[in-house]
Each structure stands twice: as C-alpha cells, then as structure tokens.
Amino acid sequence: MAVIRLTTVQVLDERIEFSLSDVCRTCCISAETVIDMVAEGVVEPLGGGPDNWRFTGANLVRVQTALRLQNDLRVNLPGAALALELLEEIDELRRRVHRLSADWPD
C-alpha cells in the first residue's frame, strides 16, 4: 500500500505563531468568537489589538479545546475557561507527582 509522506507538520508549541485570521481559518470560527475568548481570558495573544495579535501554538490548542468543550459538553464560554484552567492545574499536579514519585501518572 502506498505510504503518504506528511512532510509539512506544525508542532503546536510556543515556537510557532498564528495571526487572528490564521486562528479563524484553522478552527473554522469567526473573529468575534476569538475576540470573546481573549476577553474571557481563555488565551492571551501577544501584540496589541486584534490586527497585531500573535497566537502561539499552545494558544491555538487552548482555543480548540475550549470549542470542543462548548460543543460536546454544552458548557458556555466562562465554563469552558474554568474547565481549561482546572484541567491545566490537574496536568501540572500530575507532572509534579510524577517527577517526585517516579510513578507515571495514572
């Protein structure tokens, strides 16, 4: 079977940046939705004002996660923002437990 080589990949970390229109296109959402998320504190882009905003790869992942939580679990934007913060806190605690105890987190 033919193997399709995927050569152009983007690692969504802090080394990659997206403009507001990149985020809208990638997530299939309007600029207003992103602006609402910034206002709610879901993501904090670099740069002043929507025209100059730069979103890191990690920001993009947060936007997508917030969208999935809203669509799949019927939570509103503040609820999704709260869930994201709690999920990140759990991740951070899991990492700390792992580092201290040498046990892989469950």
Residue 26 contacts another protein per CB under 8 A? yes
- Piece of the chain touching another protein by CB under 8 A; list 2-10, 35-43, 47-55: 2-10
**Applying CB under 8 A, which part among 7-15, 31-39, 41-49 lies near another protein?**
7-15
Q: Is 105 in the site for another protein (CB under 8 A)?
A: yes
Residues 58-87: x where in contact with another protein by CB under 8 A, - otherwise, as a string: ---x--xx--xx--xxx--------x---x
Task: Pick the closest to residue 93 from 105, 77, 78, 103 (CA basis).
Answer: 105
- Phi, psi at 105, each rounded to 5°: -65, 145
Alpha-carbon distance values, 68 to 3, 40, 41, 44, 71 (Å): 31, 16, 17, 19, 5
CB burial readout 6-26, b (16+ within 10 A) else e: eeeeeebeeeebbbbeebbee
Q: Minimum Å distance from CB 64 to another protein?
A: 8
Which residues bind to another protein, rule: CB under 8 A? Answer: 1-15, 26, 28, 57, 61, 64-65, 68-69, 72-74, 83, 87, 91, 94-96, 98-99, 102, 104-106
